[in-house]
Amino acid sequence: SLLLLLHCATLNVAMNSSDHALLTLIISGNFAEIKSTVFKKYNKQNLFKITTSDICERFKLAVFLSSIFFLNCFQGGMNIAKIWDYLHVCGVVLVSEVFSDWIKHSFITKFNFIKSSAYTDYTLIMAGDLTGIGHEGVNLNHTHAVVKRLGFSQIPVVCVTLRFLNEAMRY
């Protein structure tokens, strides 16, 4: 929770800076991620782990950006121009994240000769987890199987979100 709070606070500072220098640093971190993963040997199972990691990363980023948005709206009484500016910066962050992940996955699939139909298989695996197909003997909630497969830890994200929303409600 502490590391996620630090990540969210850093993102807040980057979003509120006037020159967006920290925002450039955050976006360049995406391309460092591309550099570190592209030229390694992967198989379908490893690509699935990378894909689920990217899903969790995007979800956390969306939750953090919305929490920061509410905090800034309640703290500073944002006018329409500031809201549009903030939404524009959020869009840039999210689009750069999606674009860098797209480049990363393109290179991984090309250099490791993995067909794009692997993503359809991943979709079917996740849908099977959500519906409970293939988990007939296991006594788990179906949605827990998806969270377990993704490797998503909900409690720290909820703690950070509640902390930011609690701070926003003070204003």
Helix (H, G, I), strand (E, B) or coil at 76: helix
Query: One digit per residue, pLDDT tens: the chain, 171 residues?
Result: 999 999 888 888 888 877 777 677 777 888 888 888 877 899 999 999 999 999 999 999 999 999 988 888 888 777 888 888 888 888 888 888 899 899 999 999 999 999 999 999 999 988 888 787 766 666 666 667 777 788 888 889 999 999 888 888 887
Global pTM value: 0.84
Give the max Cα distance, the chain: 56
Q: How far apart are CA 42 and CA 105, in angstroms?
A: 11
Half-sphere exposure of 155 (CA within 13 A, CB side): 0
CB atoms under 10 Å from CB of 104, counted, come to 20
Per-residue model confidence (pLDDT) at position 44: 94
pLDDT at 154: 85
